[in-house]
Amino acid sequence: MDELELLKQDWQKKEGHLPKLSYDDIYNMIWKKSSSIVKWIFYISIIEFVFWALINLIPYNSESAELEKTWNTYGISTVLTVVNYVVLIYFIYKFYRNYKRISYTESSKKLMKAILDVKRTVTQYVWFNIGIFVAFLIITLYGSLKYGPNSEKIMEAASKAGNEVLFWLMLTGIFLLAVAMVLTLIWLFYKLLYGILLNRLRRNYNELKKLEV
Amino acid sequence: MNKELEHKFVTELQNNQNVVHKICSLYTNNREAHNDLFQEITIQLWKAYPKFRGESKFSTWMYRVSLNTAITLYRKSKKRIKTQDYDSVIFKIKADEYDETQEQQLKLMYNAVKQLGDIDKALVFLYLEDKDYSEIAETLGITEVNARVKMNRVKNKLRTILNP
């Protein structure tokens, strides 16, 4: 392509027309704050870790433990809490390790993969937490209906109105619908958030990856 | 010690700043964005500098960090480059160096390159800098064969832009 050769010649001669920054200009720049997406992903991730840890771990006090004992759900809740802690530690470790792997001195493809991996870890963590959250919800709902103070009345009303199986089926249906709606909202939120942040990076990464097929 | 490192880095970057300016001019459309990207690249270079062991030349190492910053850095600029924006770009073609046809050709060519995607621009940039395919491949993280294939596709793309 002749034009490209012409461009190459011109390109090599460009030096004279380029801006020249002084020593002080550059010196001042190295202390400025970075605005790269990696930093944003890091901040958002920290917020997510803290947010989900708070939602799942803090509301747990002795009062709720007592309540759970009367609902016969104490055992399973404790197991879930322990699992939650262990997995949280695992995810923080994995996040940190992936984050450290981000290096601008690697090849473009490796760098982009490292950034996407960090994001993936956080997404996995969030979905795991949502899972735990829903599990807690089911256990609590079931416990309070079956063993709570008003459970007898509810059950009675249910058996009077029709049959108990239908009651449970309807309840499950409503519950699943509500969960599905909340999950869709969260999913949309993430799509938007990371879509804005990572669209370009993902596109570039896929472009390099596509070459290998 | 730290002061020494700072001094060494700033001096080296000052001497090699052309590379960064060229990348900035390819990836941005106006002076302000140019300066922003230059600053971000400088920050990333400085952050990575302690790991630079002098195995490669400073300039070679710089290509990689600078391009990576340009490709991965978030910059929402969906605006297509219009011809009138061309003046804001630092690439001005000196009329007395070329005849009219060449000058016209060059202008169209620069415009075409600016319309390419991020990765394609990186390839063109390295090509214009006279890097061989093994270095292009290594910088982007693809195989040499794929770098050649990709470069051919870029040339085709440029052809299509120039002769729609």
Domains of chain B: 1-80 (1.10.1740.10), 115-164 (1.10.10)
In one-letter notation, the amino acid at residue A17 is H
Side-chain-side CA neighbours of B56 within 13 Å: the count stands at: 15
Give Cβ neighbours of residue A136 (< 8 Å, ≥ 6 apart). Answer: A56, A77, A80
pLDDT higher than threshold 60 for residue A180: yes
Angle at B135 between CA A14 and CA B29, to 5 degrees: 40
Q: Answer yes or no: is A18 within a domain.
A: no
Tokens 């040499």 locate to B144
pLDDT higher than threshold 60 for residue B1: no
Residue A48 has a pLDDT of: 83
Residue B90 has a pLDDT of: 47
Residue A61 has a pLDDT of: 61
pLDDT higher than threshold 60 for residue B77: no
Average confidence (pLDDT) over A118-128: 87
Q: Would you call A108 and B44 a contact, using CB atoms and an 8 Å cutoff?
A: no
Of B28, B10, B66, B32, nearest in space to A21 by CA: B10
Residue B89 has a pLDDT of: 47
pLDDT higher than threshold 80 for residue A77: no
Residues A154, B66: Cα–Cα separation, whole Å? 67
pLDDT higher than threshold 60 for residue B78: no
Q: How many angstroms separate the CA of residue A110 from the nearest CA in chain B?
A: 7
Side-chain-side CA neighbours of B24 within 13 Å: the count stands at: 23
Question: Which spans in chain A are helix H?
Answer: 2-12, 23-29, 37-57, 62-70, 74-101, 108-147, 151-161, 164-210
Of the candidates B9, B14, B43, the beta carbon closest to that of A34 is on: B43
Q: Answer yes or no: is A207 within a domain.
A: no
Instruction: Confirm whether the ipTM is greater than 0.95.
Output: no
The residue count of chain B comes to: 164
Residue B86 has a pLDDT of: 45
Q: Answer yes or no: is A20 within a domain.
A: no
pLDDT higher than threshold 90 for residue A10: no
Tokens 């300039």 locate to B59
Residue A197 has a pLDDT of: 81
Q: Answer yes or no: is A17 within a domain.
A: no
Give Cβ neighbours of residue A92 (< 8 Å, ≥ 6 apart). Answer: A49
Closest residue, chain A, to B138 (C-alpha) = A107
Residue A58 has a pLDDT of: 60
Average confidence (pLDDT) over B94-119: 79
Q: Would you call B10 and A26 a contact, using CB atoms and an 8 Å cutoff?
A: yes
Q: Would you call B68 and A7 a contact, using CB atoms and an 8 Å cutoff?
A: no
pLDDT higher than threshold 50 for residue A54: yes
- Banded pLDDT at B97 (limits 50, 70, 90): low
Tell whether A201 lies on the interface with B, counting CB pairs under 8 A.
yes
How many separate domains does chain A show?
1
In this structure, of A113-117, A142-146, B21-25, B146-150, the range with the lowest mean pLDDT score is: A142-146
Q: Answer yes or no: is A72 within a domain.
A: yes
Q: Answer yes or no: is A118 within a domain.
A: yes
Query: Using a CB-CB distance cutoff of 8 angstroms, which residues of chain A are in contact with residue B76?
Result: 196
Tell whether A28 lies on the interface with B, counting CB pairs under 8 A.
no
Give Cβ neighbours of residue B150 (< 8 Å, ≥ 6 apart). Answer: A211, B119, B120, B123, B142
Q: Answer yes or no: is A124 within a domain.
A: yes
Give the distance between the most distant pair of CA atoms in chain A. Answer: 91
Q: What does pTM read for this prediction?
A: 0.79
Q: Indicate the average pLDDT of chain B.
A: 82
Q: Answer yes or no: is A76 within a domain.
A: yes
Q: Indicate the average pLDDT of chain A.
A: 81
List the structure tokens of A53: 């840890």
Domain of residue A117, residue span: 36-201
